[in-house]
Chains A and B, each alone.
Chain A
């Protein structure tokens, strides 16, 4: 079974600074998808960024980028120019090549605090 590990229960960063959230995963598959979801206090899950395992290029979405290290099974999220609205729980998630039929496997989350 796949597992996703987020080793940082909580991270704090000053507004406008850069922060990196860590995620490692375990899988025997070669083809899969990785995601970072944001869950603000409203508890709505919002997709931040996704990475297809077959792509070597790291995904980027505006201030959000990932460092995908397939051999190391590592998938970190970098948030640049942190804003107060970035404060939330961040979840790393894995989906196998079977797509939604396998469901998403989530880590336990990292609580990101933005200091003004």
Chain B
């Protein structure tokens, strides 16, 4: 089946540690995105990538980093510089950034204590 996978579903880390969230898609989509969701809030864009080896900051990129070495993979690293990293993180993809339809993964809940 085609789709987007995110692992793990729940992730726990100690404060001060970097942590990497996985996102893989087999939809052959060029564009991929990372969003953050906080309680009572909609999603906010962290980073997006239009093609391999290219990515752009979204609205809340501070404290995060990404890479896009393969078309199907777009991992997100939450660094120790992110002041409030506990949140639900959603990955999405689309055929291209000019496409209006984004497909979402199941998300990863990150808890930092």
Contact = CB atoms under 8 A, between A and B. Distances in A.
A71 to B, nearest CB: 22
B45 A99 contact: no
Contacts of B50: 101
A99 B97 contact: yes
B64 interface: no
A33 B101 CA distance: 10
A contact face: mostly helix, strand, loop, or mixed: mixed
B100 A50 contact: yes
Contacts of B42: 4, 91, 93, 105-109
Contacts of A101: 48, 50, 56, 97-98
Main SS of chain B's interface residues?
Answer: loop
A103 B33 contact: yes
Interface residues of B, number: 29
B92 to A, nearest CB: 8
B43 interface: yes
B78 to A, nearest CB: 18
A61 to B, nearest CB: 13
A99 B88 contact: no
A95 interface: yes
B98 A100 contact: yes
B88 A100 contact: no
Contacts of A108: 40-42
Contacts of B94: 99-100
A79 to B, nearest CB: 19
B90 interface: yes
A81 B18 CA distance: 47
B112 to A, nearest CB: 18
Q: Nearest 9 pairs between A and B by C-beta? A: A106-B42, A103-B45, A45-B104, A100-B97, A99-B98, A101-B97, A33-B100, A106-B43, A100-B94
Interface of B: 31, 33, 35, 40-45, 48, 50, 56, 58-59, 88, 90, 92, 94, 96-102, 104-107
